[in-house]
Amino acid sequence: MIIVMKMNATETDVQRVADRIIELGLRTHLSQGEERTIIGVIGDNRPVNREMFERMEGVEKVMRVLPPFKLASRDFKPDDTVIPLNGTRIGDRQVVVMAGPCAVEDRVQMREVAHAVKEAGVKILRGGAFKPRTSPYSFQGLGRKGLEILAEVRDEFGLAIVTEVMAPEDVPLVAEYADILQVGARNMQNYALLHALGANGKPVLLKRGMMSTLQELLMSAEYILSHGNYQVMLCERGIRTFEPYTRNTFDINAIPALKGLTHLPVIADPSHGTGKWDLVAAVSKAAVAAGADGLIIEVHPHPSRALSDGAQSLKPETFARLMVELQAVAQAVGREL
């Protein structure tokens, strides 16, 4: 942490800041510039509240030197985290594709999708039983009934299941049925939920909030990791910007950036990242070319009858074609599908 003093800060101001630093068990390092005095704080100051200093007399600003996340950082764990699941190894050489509908609607729909995505080579099926919806008048998901359908389909087709959990008290229930527990974008900073998932220990797919920075995403992962659960995948699913043409702006930069900052696997969600089915193939290929460890793609047998996210869902035949194209791109960047 670096504390920049104001141009007109007095010696007493500087002394008071230095005293406070020492009071907190840290050491100081003064540097007298031509226009400003700068005080370096020596020691692990991650738990120290930066704002304390910002409010002291004569302080202009406080800048952090250390990244605030630790367990999630490459500095802490240089090797890639690999999560083995249903014969795949997420975070390893293979690019893992998860596919399925936004919401579990009924058994017929899920069997149809499961069959189609399995044919296309998928090993992990997605489908929401608990659905966070902006409107109380929209379909809210089948809940426990949806989980049961997912379990049946899992057994029948030999697919692993990824599904969302919305509340801490639902974690044990959802963990019974799911292989990967998904944290939705709106819940990225639902800390009660993150604690519960950390304690539970099952693999977690943590979606980036639509207006969360990469650092905040890593801090939310840190909550889970700090409970000893290292099976965390980060998911870039588009951020909110001023551009109205697409539902979100898929942040392609986030993929190589996260791969550099952290050892955790990075998954891309081009369905939410675009919101438009006809952009999904292009952005899927882009994500793989940029180094994503996996994709999560919405597929629905009848998008124009889907109870949610129809506009961004691929039909099974379009998805099957995309899988072939993705294979070529994966190979071009030294990976396989």
What is the footprint of a second copy within residues 37-76 (CB under 8 A)?
Answer: 38, 40, 42-44, 46-47, 49, 51-56, 63, 65-66, 68, 75
Tokens of 227: 């409970």
Query: Between 121 and 140, how does the x/- string for binding to a second copy read (CB under 8 A)?
Result: -----------xxxxxxxxx
Nearer to a second copy, 11 or 55 (CB): 55
Looking at the Cβ atoms of 13 and 152, the one nearer to a second copy is 13
For the CB of residue 169, give the shortest distance to a second copy in the complex, in Å.
Answer: 6
Binding status of residue 10 toward a second copy by CB under 8 A:
no
The amino acid sitting at 35 is: E
Q: Is 99 or 165 the residue whose CB approaches a second copy more closely?
A: 165
Half-sphere exposure of 108 (CA within 13 A, CB side): 2
Q: What's the rounded Cα separation, in Å, for the pair 91 and 83?
A: 7
Pick from 11, 35, 79, 336: which binds a second copy (CB under 8 A)? Answer: 35
**Per-residue CA distances from 129 to 104, 182, 207, 221, 269 (Å):** 6, 11, 17, 23, 18
Provide the β-strand partners of residue 266: 234
Residue with tokens 């149809």: 112
Nearest residue (CB) to a second copy, 43 versus 172: 43
Among 293, 263, 291, residue whose Cα is nearest residue 73: 263
Q: With respect to a second copy, which residue has the nearer C-beta, 179 or 298?
A: 298
Q: Are 91 and 265 in contact (CB under 8 A)?
A: yes
Site for a second copy in 290-329 (CB under 8 A): 290-291, 303-313, 325, 328-329
Number of residues that bind a second copy (CB under 8 A): 111
The region of 82-90, 116-124, 277-285, 316-324 touching a second copy under the rule CB under 8 A is 277-285
Q: Using the rule CB under 8 A, is 171 a contact of a second copy?
A: no
| 147 in Cβ contact with 163 (< 8 Å) | yes
* Helix locations, 70-124, DSSP H: 107-119
